[in-house]
Amino acid sequence: MNDALNASGHPKGAYVFQLYLAGGAPNSVRALANLYAICRKHFPESHRIEVIDVLKEPLRALAAAIFVTPTVVKISPAPEQQIIGNLSEEQEVLRALGLPQKESE
């Protein structure tokens, strides 16, 4: 495995998220859009988002103890954190993730 990758195969220092969502349901779509927007804005160089559709892979949700969608799980950097909801409050999300809260331009 490459030196630049950490134990879970992700680039070192990268923000890695798993987003559990339910197909095209409104909150899921919004959560995905909001998560992409936050990532592009705050860590444009180093982020990865894995989308898990619980309608197709319910067992993965169960294995990760995810019972509701949309739920985003921050895998890396540690600690692992979960956020439930459509992520529409950007500042709230950043605070919850322990990230510096920039003033939006």
CA atoms of 16 and 55, how far apart (whole Å):
22
Identity of the residue, 50 or 92, whose beta carbon is nearer to another protein in the bound complex: 92
Q: Which amino acid is at 77?
A: P
Scan residues 31-90 and list those touching another protein (CB under 8 A): 54-55, 58-59, 61-62, 66-70, 78-87, 89
Contact assessment for residue 29 and residue 19, using Cβ atoms and an 8 Å cutoff: no
Contact between 58 and 49 under an 8 Å Cβ cutoff? The reply is no
Q: Does 11 bind another protein (CB under 8 A)?
A: no
Query: Which residues form the interface with another protein (CB under 8 A)?
Result: 21-23, 25-28, 54-55, 58-59, 61-62, 66-70, 78-87, 89, 92-93, 96-97
